[in-house]
Homo-oligomer: A and B are copies of this chain.
Amino acid sequence: MSTPTTVPAHLRAAVDAAKERVAALHAELPRWELVVWTAGNVSERVRDPRGADDGSDDLLVIKPSGVSYDDITPDAMVVCDLEGALVEGDRSPSSDTAAHAYVYRHMTDVGGVVHTHSTYATAWAARGEEIPCVLTMMADEFGGPIPVGPFAIIGDDSIGRGIVETLGGHRSPAVLMRNHGPFTIGKDARAAVKAAVMVEEVARTVHVSRQLGEPLPIAAEHVDALYDRYQNVYGQH
């Protein structure tokens, strides 16, 4: 672990902007009923343009540990380096910070990470069962099934390693960590939050569908066509 230092002056504005975004995005977690009490966390990478090419000098902004969603403000957010060490902030970072940091260290394209225990996604995770791709919205967003990551204990790198190893081989921005819950990634924190919302939505819909029978599969070429169009055409460009 590197020694905590301070936010470099040339990253001040970027860190402050990230704190605003990350604080605001935390409100989406209770809004879409993905979390209860103080569970769940959102982080965003702050890239250091003067840092090493591998991004190892980047910072991350995340929620403090065990803090109520009513008390989340930009100033309450904490800043850590990519070893998970505290750089700025009055409180301890989320206990999931090591997992977030591991993902940023090993997936340089990732700009945002979200973790929740949202009910339906966690229910699939408890059975260790991937979610089959039987909805067009799932093909759009995930490009196939949502995979399951290994059982991993908090406290070392095993959660982060499980996320990275599982998502390495998938188009899906979401992984269901066994007996634990979903982690999602994105190009920024907002994209990772969207993936967290969508993984719960499809986990719930496929669960409900399977309660009364077997959902019909979508042919692989249709999944590919939907994914391709959605990633390249949807939204405002």
**Chain A 121-161, CB within 8 Å of chain B: the 1/0 string?**
01110111100001111000000000000010111000000
Query: Contact check: which of B64, B126, B218 meets A209 at CB < 8 Å?
Result: B126
Is the beta-carbon distance between B207 and A66 smaller than 8 angstroms?
Answer: no
Let me know if A155 and B236 touch, CB within 8 A. Answer: no
Q: A206 near B126 (CB under 8 angstroms)?
A: yes
- Give Cα A123 to B236, complex, Å: 29
Residues A65-91 near B (CB distance < 8 A): 65-67, 91
Distance of A126 Cα from B216 Cα, bound (Å): 6
Distance between Cα atoms of A215 and B212 in the complex (Å): 13
Q: How far is the CB of A61 from chain B (nearest CB, A)?
A: 18
Q: Which residues of B contact A134 (CB under 8 A)?
A: 126, 179
Distance (Å) between the CB of A24 and the closest chain B CB?
Answer: 11
Q: Report B-chain residues with C-beta under 8 Å of the C-beta of A137.
A: 39, 117, 180-181
| Residues on B with beta carbons closer than 8 Å to the beta carbon of A37 | 32, 194, 197-198, 201
Residues of B within 8 A of A229 (CB): 154-155
Residues of B within 8 A of A178 (CB): 216
Partner of A136, one of B154, B201, B210, B212: B154
Report, nearest first, the 8 A-B pairs whose CB atoms are least far apart.
A66-B235, A123-B209, A123-B208, A126-B215, A126-B209, A136-B180, A127-B213, A36-B201
